[in-house]
Amino acid sequence: MTKTVFIAAAEPYSGKSLVSLGLINMLLRKTPKVGYFKPIINFEPAEKKDAHIETIISHFGLPITYDGAYAYTRAAAMRLVEGDTQGDIIDTIIHKFKALEEQYDFLVVEGSDFLGAGTAFEFDANISIAKNLGAPAILVISGEGKTTDQAVNAALTVLRNFEAREVPVLAVLVNKMPPSQADEVRQLLGGQLPAGIVLAVIPENQSLRSPSMKEIQEQLGGKCLLGEHLLSNQVDNFITGAMQVPNFLRRIKENVLIVTPGDRADIILGALQANASANFPKVAGIVLTGDIVPDEYVVRLMEGLEMVIPILSVATGTFLTTTQIGAIQSRISPDNPKKIELAIRTFEQYMDVAALEEKLVTFKAEGMTPHMFQYKLMQWAKSRRRHIVLPEGNDDRILRAAARLQQLDVVDLTILGDPTAITAAVNRLGLSLDLSRIQLLDPARAPRFAEYAETLYELRKAKNVNLDMARDMMTDVSYFGTMMVYQGHADGMVSGAVHTTQHTIRPALQFIKTKPGVSVVSSVFFMCLPDRVAVFGDCAVNPNPTAEQLAEIAISSAESSLRFGIEPRVAMLSYSSGTSGEGAEVEKVRRATQLVHQLRPDLQVEGPIQYDAAVDPIVGRQKLPDSTVAGQASVLIFPDLNTGNNTYKAVQRETGALAIGPVLQGLNKPVNDLSRGCTVEDVVNTVIITAIQAQG
């Protein structure tokens, strides 16, 4: 079951608030702990509060603060976009979302409103936010001013955009449709939507779209002269009172707003009398223009009437005032409970609530975006703090990474090297690194040097290693760091920024050794692609694995995938798919796939399969239509090191993907190897992953 749903539109004034109100009301019947989050709002809170947030919190009495219900104002988000730091927007939204998610059984997330400049950014941002939160979407389309074909095409276009980014859509709601077109839209659109998507078409409702007198006062900046307690009056239409009273009276309709200059006492008094008369429709209010206040005797007369209506005074002229009133778009506000209840009733009348509830219960999120993956890595690492040793204290990247890790406060660190040289380098680099909180060790002068050398001798004497050799080996930072892990004085080690892979992992193979039942140490890269995270193995350790080793690598990689929150769907890659190809290499992959099925029948695995069939849904359906893996593989196993290493680097360079790894798997305790071309970010990510591995 999903715990989140994202309400998205593609244009302003679509009626998202109606959906939010109806959905939260529906959910509150199932659980009392429902939260609400609107990532991007229009205005600074000091300038103007967001009506949606205030209405939701106020009406349902949700225990959410206004500040906690949003992440960015539109202006703040646009500044980050202009600075090319869009990733910061998603990271902050994820953190605020997760803080709310922990407090509630269900969270309704509402997309932005498309008011002002930057609407192209908003549409893409809403899709990206939904994708990164792992939230299925309810799409809201406005039918206002659209023909039947235009409404249907608009709905399908928005749907295709969400599906293209692999954001699941639970329902499509076409709102504000002219009643005469509603059935036709329902029929035409229903026949073109994919099976399983709930469709609702809501006819235009004048009572929902009409503004209140208070909204008109706020939009015009008017002063209320009379009837302040009636500002909730609904305005369904307006007229200009610039003719003689008899002609004026003929034009009065139900809930009319009369706009007239402030010196037209005849129109003012005629409107008041019409409102009091049983023979005329109700008058919603009057707006007096030109900054003219009626004569004091007229005011006294108005104030003495039993039947009053709201009367506003504005500075603008009649023409400009009517233009402004015509442009007002009503919003559902917390001080209008009648409109709130009407919105909820309308949602329940036209939405198949039972079908939507079923979709929410049965929906299961698949895949994980890079932003969410990195957020979860941080949270996992913080949940059970671990101690990691970094042997290469003579490399600036290691020191910069240590400063970043200290800032994140996720691990404890030991750095190996000359403490004096490390301190000088920290000062030279100007790093905010508190060395008093980090253990600095020079292996040859470390308090446990003799103990470690003796232990190494005992472990390796059967391999003709004497004590002098052990002492010499223990001056090597890789051996010393690995021994710290073996002895439990550190939980894991990360090295390789300066040293080769062989130099880094040789000590681990010699005395940390492999887990029971594991005969081969292998590696995976977590490939953070633009909209998902895939696991690539083995791209760093085994040059030409046998079928048996390949099967073991696949099982280890699937377990690593599961450990890091990615559902494993394993593709055993080759140059052909299914039964179409022949040759020794294809047979090796086919045999490895059979072994995985035998050893781990619980795993979803497909092979041999080509890369495109593994990751592209269309190609996957064409080549292997009955496969549960084809087109949606999350774990990709390469047949040899040459293929794997070149492929991960090609994908990394061509897509801009972040490659986290190599992460070694199969060892009793975690030791991980860095690429000698690693960045500071690579070091940070690898340390965090190593800490998580050390949690067991």
DSSP 63: S
Q: What is the model's pTM?
A: 0.73
487 and 557 housed in the same domain: yes
Element (H, E) at 600: none
DSSP lists the bridge partners of residue 606 as 571
DSSP lists the bridge partners of residue 533 as 528
349 and 441 housed in the same domain: no
Range with lowest mean pLDDT among 147-156, 330-339, 392-401, 490-499: 330-339
Distance, in Å, from the CA atom of 693 to the CA atom of 670, rounded to the nearest integer, reads 6
Range with lowest mean pLDDT among 11-15, 193-197, 443-447: 11-15
360 and 377 housed in the same domain: no
Which CATH number do you get for residue 258? 3.40.1390.20
Confidence of residue 189 (pLDDT cuts 50, 70, 90): very high
Distance, in Å, from the CA atom of 402 to the CA atom of 433, rounded to the nearest integer, reads 7
Burial 636-655 (b: 16+ CB within 10 A, else e): bbbbebebbbebbeebbeee
Which CATH number do you get for residue 41? 3.40.50.300
Distance, in Å, from the CA atom of 384 to the CA atom of 693, rounded to the nearest integer, reads 11
Q: Quick one: pLDDT at residue 48? A: 84
Confidence of residue 594 (pLDDT cuts 50, 70, 90): very high
* Whether residue 531 has a cis bond before it, omega within 30° of 0: no
HSE at residue 599, side-chain half, CA atoms within 13 A, is: 19
Q: Quick one: pLDDT at residue 362? A: 84
Give yes or no for a contact between 607 and 593, defined as CB atoms under 8 angstroms apart: yes
E-assigned strand segments in 197-330: 198-203, 223-226, 237-240, 256-261, 283-289, 311-313
Confidence of residue 84 (pLDDT cuts 50, 70, 90): low
Tell me phi and psi for residue 525, to 5 degrees.
-110, 135
270 and 361 housed in the same domain: no
* Whether residue 370 has a cis bond before it, omega within 30° of 0: no
Give yes or no for a contact between 670 and 387, defined as CB atoms under 8 angstroms apart: no
CB neighbours of residue 445 within 10 Å: 10
The type of residue at 378 is M
How many domains does the structure of the chain reveal? 3
Q: Quick one: pLDDT at residue 117? A: 58
DSSP string, 455-475: HHHHHHGGGT--HHHHHHHHT
Q: Quick one: pLDDT at residue 344? A: 93
Interval 342-355 mean pLDDT: 92
Distance, in Å, from the CA atom of 283 to the CA atom of 274, rounded to the nearest integer, reads 8
14 and 86 housed in the same domain: yes
Q: Quick one: pLDDT at residue 420? A: 94
List CB contacts of 405: < 8 A, sequence separation 6 or more: 411, 413, 684, 687, 688
DSSP string, 389-457: EE--TTSHHHHHHHHHHHHHT-EEEEEES-HHHHHHHHHHHT----GGGSEEE-GGG-TTHHHHHHHHH
Over the stretch 485-537, which tens digit does the pLDDT of each residue have? Answer: 999 999 999 999 999 888 888 999 999 998 888 889 999 999 998 778 999 99
Give yes or no for a contact between 238 and 289, defined as CB atoms under 8 angstroms apart: no
Among positive and negative, which fits the CA dihedral 510, 515, 521, 527?
negative
Distance, in Å, from the CA atom of 90 to the CA atom of 112, rounded to the nearest integer, reads 14
Interval 347-363 mean pLDDT: 90
420 and 528 housed in the same domain: yes
List CB contacts of 245: < 8 A, sequence separation 6 or more: 266, 267, 270
Q: Quick one: pLDDT at residue 302? A: 81
Per the listing, tokens 């060790």 go with 441
Give yes or no for a contact between 689 and 526, defined as CB atoms under 8 angstroms apart: yes
Whether 447 has a pLDDT exceeding 90, the answer reads yes
Tokens of 205: 């409702």
Give yes or no for a contact between 298 and 268, defined as CB atoms under 8 angstroms apart: yes
Q: Quick one: pLDDT at residue 442? A: 94
Burial 157-192 (b: 16+ CB within 10 A, else e): ebbebbeeeebbbbbbbbbbbbeebbeebbebbeee
163 and 86 housed in the same domain: yes
352 and 403 housed in the same domain: no
Domain boundary among 365, 382, 416: 365
662 and 600 housed in the same domain: yes
How does strand 311-313 pair with strand 386-390?
A: unpaired
392 and 318 housed in the same domain: no
Which CATH number do you get for residue 526? 3.40.718.10
DSSP lists the bridge partners of residue 619 as none
359 and 384 housed in the same domain: no
Burial 144-154 (b: 16+ CB within 10 A, else e): bebebeebbbb
List the Cα angle 313/317/323 in 5-degree steps: 100
Which CA distances in Å does 336 have to 51, 64, 113, 229?
11, 20, 20, 13
397 and 448 housed in the same domain: yes
- State which residues form the domain around 672: 371-693
Tell me phi and psi for residue 91, to 5 degrees.
-60, -45
